[in-house]
Amino acid sequence: MNEVLRAIQERRSIRVFRPDPIEPEKVDAILDAGRWAPSGKNTQPWRFVVVESKEKRDELGRIVTQMDMVRSAPVTIAVLLDTRAGYDATKDAQGIGACAQNMLLAAHSLGLGACWIGRVRDEQVEGILGAKDHEELMMLIAIGYPAETPPVRERRPLAELVRRI
Ligand SMILES: Cc1cc2nc3c(=O)[nH]c(=O)nc-3n(C[C@H](O)[C@H](O)[C@H](O)COP(=O)(O)O)c2cc1C
């Protein structure tokens, strides 16, 4: 199996982090992986807010449900949709999903753990993030060095998922 396929299979959602800071170049590499995602008409409608100050992490941690994860993650990346850049709600969301998966895989490949936190259109969170009027929160991605090794969450066999015609 090549390293891309192995990373896809071995990546797990990590929800418990060591307190060690993340090297800034690793955060940049993760953001860059997001930037290279495919998007409909190459509109690249994603915008990123990198939450790394203790003050903002605590503020976010107070209102999102999995507060310990956000508080303990040295970095949380909020992914916002720039509605002025997008052109079709479904396709914009698909592109942003690809962007998020790129970032999860990049984090994994750098020895980091990450968890996608489904969080959409929450004005309170958007306020903390300083989102602009034309930006909508799509998800948070908590990132840090893993302090857990979660078991594999099984996937359905291909035979259940695929029809060939
Ligand atoms: C759209 C989406 C929303 C998710 N939201 C959350 C969430 O709010 N909290 C959480 O702990 N995990 C969340 N996850 C992570 C999933 O629970 C996880 O990917 C799934 O259980 C499979 O586990 P694995 O990533 O370790 O393979 C989300 C994943 C996706 C794709």
Distance of CA 92 to the CA centre of its chain: 15
The answer as to whether 157 is a domain residue is no
The answer as to whether 165 is a domain residue is no
Atom of ligand 1 nearest to the CA of 12: 26
Range of the domain at 81: 11-147
| pLDDT tens-digit readout, 28-64 | 999 999 999 999 999 999 999 999 999 999 899 888 7
Strands 46-51 and 135-144: unpaired
The predicted pLDDT at position 122 comes to: 86
The answer as to whether 76 is a domain residue is yes
CATH of the domain at 97: 3.40.109.10
Mean pLDDT over residues 149-160, rounded? 96
Question: Does the CB atom of residue 13 touch ligand 1 within 6 A?
Answer: yes
Distance 117 CA to ligand 1 centre (A): 7
The answer as to whether 139 is a domain residue is yes
Number of domains in the chain: 1
3-state secondary structure 9-60: HHCCECCCECCCCCCHHHHHHHHHHHHCCCCHHHCCCEEEEEECCHHHHHHH
Distance 59 CA to ligand 1 centre (A): 22
The answer as to whether 111 is a domain residue is yes
Question: Does the CB atom of residue 15 touch ligand 1 within 6 A?
Answer: yes
Q: What is the pTM of this model?
A: 0.97
Q: Would the pLDDT of 155 be above 80?
A: yes
The answer as to whether 159 is a domain residue is no
The answer as to whether 1 is a domain residue is no
CB 49 within 8 A of CB 80: yes
The answer as to whether 156 is a domain residue is no
Atom 22, ligand 1: residue with shortest CA distance? 153
DSSP class of 92: H
The first and second tokens of residue 162, run together, are: 């695929």
Atom 3, ligand 1: residue with shortest CA distance? 118
Count of positions (residues) in the chain: 165
For the chain, how many helices (H) and strands (E)? 7, 4
Distance 13 CA to ligand 1 centre (A): 7
Distance 121 CA to ligand 1 centre (A): 18
The predicted pLDDT at position 147 comes to: 97
Question: Does the CB atom of residue 105 touch ligand 1 within 6 A?
Answer: no
